[in-house]
Structure formats: C-alpha cells, structure tokens
Amino acid sequence: MSSTTAVRSPRRRGELDDGRSLTTPTGLGVDGAGVIDEIGDDVSGWTVGDEVIGIGQDVQAEYATLAAWATKPAAMDWESAGAMGLIGETATRGLTLLGIGAGDTVFIDGASGGVGTLAI
C-alpha cells in the first residue's frame, strides 16, 4: 500500500529536479506499507512476513525497498498504514529534536492534521 502526498505533485509536473521532466518509466511515492518478503544482509531484528510501515523512494510499486521502517500496528488498516510513513517520521523527528518525551506537556497547534495527530 502506498500514498501520494503534495510533496510528489511538483515532481510529476517537472518542477523539481532542476525543471527536468521525469524520465519514464519512473516510480513515485515515499510512504509505503507492506509485508517483508526479503531482508538485506545488514538488517537484523526483522523476519520475512513482518508487517511494516515506512518511507523510501518510488514505493508505488508491487515491490519496494524502504529506507526506514517500523512495525505496522495490528489494529491499523492497510489504507491508513500506507500514508503513515512520512508524517510519522516528521512527527517523531520534531518531537525528538525538541527533546519532548513521555510525560512532557506540550501544545501542538493544528493537531488535527496528520503530523499533529501522530505527535499527540
């Protein structure tokens, strides 16, 4: 499962990559969710069959390589999981950079969006 975000639209229109048009065939998408079917030599702690969410490049494909991933919550449907990678990474990075942890009190303005919802 994968999603398309506003970040990818300019790339499709040729507005990124120094204005160069996309060379086709090409893949799109950053967010992805799926079931691990192969594991690289330098990866440990995961097994074939694990359900994951994550981010990578060109993940709108039948098979994709994720650069960063986490376990997909069992209660999360695949449609939602496919959109969680980038916003989840953004929320986690923001909280980490600010030094916010469990038990801290913080005001999150605009928390109804994806990043804010996950930060809560």
Residue 76 included in any domain: yes
pLDDT tens, residue by residue, 25-42: 566 778 889 999 999 898
Residue 3 included in any domain: no
Residue 114 included in any domain: yes
Q: Out of 24-38, 81-95, 101-115, which region has the weakest mean confidence (pLDDT)?
A: 24-38
Residue 84 included in any domain: yes
Residue 2 included in any domain: no
Instruction: Name the residue with higher pLDDT: 60 or 120.
Output: 120
Residue 83 included in any domain: yes
Question: Residue 111: pLDDT band by 50, 70, 90 thresholds?
Answer: confident
Q: Per the structure, how many domains does the chain have?
A: 1
- Cβ within 8 Å of residue 51, ≥6 positions away: 33, 34, 35, 36, 71, 72, 74, 81
Domain that holds residue 93: 8-119
Residue 101 included in any domain: yes
Per-residue burial over 66-99, b if 16 or more Cβ lie within 10 Å, else e, is beebeebeeeeeeeebbbbbbbbbebeeebeeee
In angstroms, the CA 104 to CA 118 distance is 15
Give me the amino acid identity at 91: A
Instruction: Name the residue with higher pLDDT: 60 or 66.
Output: 66
Residue 1 included in any domain: no
